[in-house]
Structure 1
Amino acid sequence: MKEFTVILSSINDVKNFVNIVTKYDFEIDLTSGRYVVDAKSIMGIFSLDLTKPIKVEAHSDDCDKLLEELAPYIQK
């Protein structure tokens, strides 16, 4: 499992993020505070507080390609 933090600051960011993560077979969760949602659910993402960084948990050890595609959203 890999963990990293992303910033999704606009509706287009959320749409692009969901389009990227839906290509992958493994589970990906987003955590904000005490809420955990499926990263492939656009409605779930909009239920989170998008003004703060969001923790991503990718339930796979082979997610290098995912990290490359999400690079613009990953908080440094």
Structure 2
Amino acid sequence: MNERIIKLTDAEEVQDFVRAAGNCDFDIDISYQRIVIDAKSILGVMGLGMSKELTVKYGGEDLEFENVLSKYSVA
């Protein structure tokens, strides 16, 4: 299981992240504190709020998704 910390600051970044997650054939979870959301749900990700450090956990490999994660990575 891979884990990255990201920060999404506006709706455009959320849309970019969710689009990349939706193209993956493996499960991706995004969490803030104790709340865990399916990263392929735009409403769920927006509901977590913006400008927070979010933890992304995923169990597969996809180059496009890795590039998007790198764009928004804080650590």
Relative to the length of structure 2, the TM-score reads: 0.88
Any gaps of 5 or more consecutive residues in structure 1?
A: none
Relative to the length of structure 1, the TM-score reads: 0.87
- Misfit runs of 4+, over 6 Å: none
Partner of 2:16: 16
Any gaps of 5 or more consecutive residues in structure 2?
A: none
Partner of 1:45: 45
Aligned residues: 74
After superposition, where does 1:1-76 map in structure 2 within 5 Å? Answer: 1-60=1-60, 63=61, 65=63, 66-76=65-75
Root-mean-square deviation over aligned CA pairs: 1.3
1:35, distance to aligned residue in structure 2 (A) = 0.4
